[in-house]
Amino acid sequence: MGLAHARAFRAVSTTFPVALRPSLRTVADLDASRARTVAGQVGAERASDDWRAAIAADDVDIVAITTPNGLHREMAIAALEAGKAVFCEKPLAANLADAQAMAEAARTRAHANQVGFNYLANPAVIHAKRLIDRGDLGTIRNARLVFDEDYMADPSLPHSWRCRRDMAGAGALGDLGAHALSLALYLIGPVSEVTATARTPIDRRPTRDGGPAPVENEDIADALLVFIGGQTATFSSSRVALGRKCALRVEVFGSDGSLAFDQERFNELEVCFRGDDGPNGGFRRILTGPSHPPYGAFVPAAGAQIGFGDLKTIEVYRLLQAMAGLGLSYPDFAFGCAVDAVIDALLQSAAGGNWVKVDDTVQPAAPPSPDAEWSALPDARAHQ
C-alpha cells in the first residue's frame, strides 16, 4: 500500500489540474535497507528508519501512513501536531478510543486529513451516490453489504500482525468490513444500532519460528444494521471465503429503484427503476465513462476502464485540493472514526449477543455533492 500511495502522488499532477504539485521526499521503514530500496524504486529523495524524524522534516508537508493499524494513532497525531496534512490508510485505528483521539486531533488542528477508503473514489460509486441524492431511487428501504476474500483461508498461512488485537484491532471487520461500512455510510447515512456474530474457525496459526499462536480477532462476521433514517441492511465479511478475491458487493433498494455494485467488476453499476419491467425487465448495466467524473481525467472513452491505482490517485487529488482550500478532503478522520464506531458496536454485540447502539460522539461532515465536487474538472475528451 505504501507503493500504491507513492505511485498516486507521482501520477496526480499529470492526471488532474492540481493547485499543489507534490514531490516525494522520504520513505520511512523499520528496515533501513528496505527503506533505501523503496526510495530508489519510487524516486524519493531520501530514506529513513526513523519515522519521527521523517515527519519532523521541514520540507515535508504531507505524511502518508500505510503501517499496521496499531501504529496509526501515534504517527498521525505526531504529524498533525507538526503541522502536516495526513493521509492515513483504513481502518483509521485499531480501536475506537484511538480513532476518537485522532479525529479530535484533526479537528482541533484543522490540517487536511484523509482516510484511505479508496472505493469511495470510484466513479461508479460516486454515480450511485448521485442517483440516491437526486431521488432517482425514491425512499431508500434497505441494503445488502458483503466483502469476502480468501487471503487467510489457508490454515498454514503464518501468524502475522493481522491476527493480533493490539496491532490490527478487528480482523475481517477492520480489514475488509470497514470498506463495506464506508460505502454504507457514504450512500445511506449514519448507523444507529447493530447486532452481530463473529467467529474464528482458524483460531491458531503457525509462527515463522516455531509452534502455533492464537488468532485474536475474527475471521468471519455477520450482522444486521439499522440506520438513523430507519433503513436496514444485512452485512457480512469473511477473510476465509475460499475462492473470493475482492468480493465487495453492495445493493441498495428504494421505493422507485435499486442499484448494485460489485468491486470485481468495478467499472460497472447495475440499476433498475420502476417501470423497468415486462419480459425484458430487471437490472441493466451502466458502463462507466467520461460522463461519470472523474473517470474522464484518466481516459476519454467508456469501456477502456480505470484501475485500483487510479482510485488512489483520485484520493490524493482530493487531499491536495483540500490543502489548497479548493475542496473537501473526504473521507476525513471524522468519517473514519464513524466507521470505527460501527465496528466497535459490532464487536460488542458479537461478544454479548445483543443489540448495541453505535457511539455517535464524533459526527462526520456530510459527503460532498458528486455534481458540485466534479463540475469544474476538465474532461479528458476536450484534449483529444
Answer whether residue 384 shows pLDDT above 50: no
Query: From CA 292, how far away is CA 193, in angstroms rounded?
Result: 33
Predicted confidence band at 276 (pLDDT cuts at 50, 70, 90)? confident
Query: From CA 79, how far away is CA 303, in angstroms rounded?
Result: 40
Predicted confidence band at 380 (pLDDT cuts at 50, 70, 90)? very low
Answer whether residue 104 shows pLDDT above 50: yes
pLDDT tens digits for range 139-174? 999 999 999 999 999 999 999 999 999 999 999 999
Residue type present at position 377 = L
| 3-state secondary structure at position 7 | helix
Q: Within its chain, how far is the Cα of 137 from the centroid?
A: 24
The secondary element (H helix, E strand) that includes residue 113 is strand 113-115
pLDDT for 381: 42
Average pLDDT over the chain, rounded to whole?
95
For the chain, domains (ranges, CATH) are: 2-118 (3.40.50.720), 120-304+332-373 (3.30.360.10)
Angle at 26 between CA 25 and CA 29, to 5 degrees: 165
Report, as an integer, the average pLDDT of 108-116: 93
What is the three-state SS of 115-180? ECCHHHHCHHHHHHHHHHHHCCCCCEEEEEEEEECCCCCCCCCCCCHHHCHHHHCCCHHHHHHHHH
pLDDT for 356: 98
Query: How many Cβ atoms are within 10 Å of 65's Cβ, its own excluded?
Result: 24
pLDDT for 378: 59
Cα dihedral sign for 225, 189, 237, 267? Answer: positive
74-78, 199-203, 282-286, 377-381: least confident range: 377-381
Predicted confidence band at 314 (pLDDT cuts at 50, 70, 90)? very high
b/e 299-317 (16+ beta carbons within 10 angstroms → b): bbebeebbeeebbbbbbbb
Answer whether residue 364 shows pLDDT above 90: yes
Answer whether residue 209 shows pLDDT above 90: no
Per cent of the chain over pLDDT 90 is 92
| 3-state secondary structure at position 294 | coil
Report, as an integer, the average pLDDT of 255-275: 96
Q: Which residue has the higher pLDDT, 211 or 164?
A: 164
Instruction: Decide if 380 contacts 290 (C-beta within 8 A).
Output: yes
| 3-state secondary structure at position 370 | helix
Report, as an integer, the average pLDDT of 111-129: 97
pLDDT tens digits for range 31-60? 999 999 999 999 999 999 999 999 999 999
CA distance to 165, 183, 264, per residue, from 28 (Å): 24, 31, 32
Q: Which of 147, 173, 172, 174 is nearest to 68 (CA)?
A: 174
pLDDT for 210: 76
For the chain, the distance separating the N- and C-terminal CA atoms, rounded to the nearest angstrom, is: 33
Instruction: Decide if 124 contacts 100 (C-beta within 8 A).
Output: no
pLDDT for 379: 53
pLDDT for 84: 97
Predicted confidence band at 296 (pLDDT cuts at 50, 70, 90)? very high
